[in-house]
Amino acid sequence: MTLPAPLAALAGGLVVSCQAYPGEPMRSPETMAQVAQSALIGGAVGIRAQGLGDIALIRERVDLPLIGLWKAGDADVFITPTLSHAIGVHAAGADIVALDGTRRERPDGLSLAETIRRLKDRTGALVMADTGSLDDALAAVEAGADCVGTTLAGYTSDRPKLAGPDIELIGLISAAVGVPVLAEGRIHTPAQAAEAIAAGAFSVVVGTAITHPASITSWFATAVHG
Ligand SMILES: CC(=O)N[C@H](C=O)[C@@H](O)[C@H](O)[C@H](O)COP(=O)(O)O
Residue 58 C-alpha to ligand 1 middle, in angstroms?
18
Q: How many domains does the chain contain in total? A: 1
Distance CA 55, CA 67 (A): 9
In a domain, 2, yes or no: no
- Give a yes or no: residue 3 inside a domain: no
Q: What share of the chain is helix, strand, coil (3-state, %, to 5)?
A: 40, 15, 40
CA dist., res. 81 & res. 108, Å (int)? 8
Asked whether residue 5 is assigned to any structural domain, the reply reads no
Sequence-separated (6 or more) residues with CB below 8 Å from residue 65: 5, 6, 7, 9, 10, 45, 46, 47, 95, 96
Mutate-to-test residue for ligand 1 from 17, 89, 136, 192, highest number of ligand atoms within 8 A of CB: 17
Ligand 1 pocket by Cβ (under 6 Å): 17, 19, 69, 79, 151-152, 155, 184-187, 205-209
**pTM metric for this prediction:** 0.98
Distance CA 125, CA 7 (A): 12
Determine, yes or no, domain membership for 44.
yes
Q: Is residue 81 part of a domain?
A: yes
CATH code of residue 138: 3.20.20.70
pLDDT tens string for the chain (226 positions)? 699 999 999 999 999 999 999 999 999 999 999 999 999 999 999 999 999 999 999 999 999 999 999 999 999 999 999 999 999 999 999 999 999 999 999 999 999 999 999 999 999 999 999 999 999 999 999 999 999 999 999 999 999 999 999 999 999 999 999 999 999 999 999 999 999 999 999 999 999 999 999 999 999 999 999 7
Atom from ligand 1 closest to the CA of residue 188: 19
Q: What is the extent of the structural domain holding 80?
A: 13-225
- Among 97, 69, 79, smallest CA distance to 4 is for 97
**Rounded Cα–Cα distance for residues 94 and 87 (Å):** 10
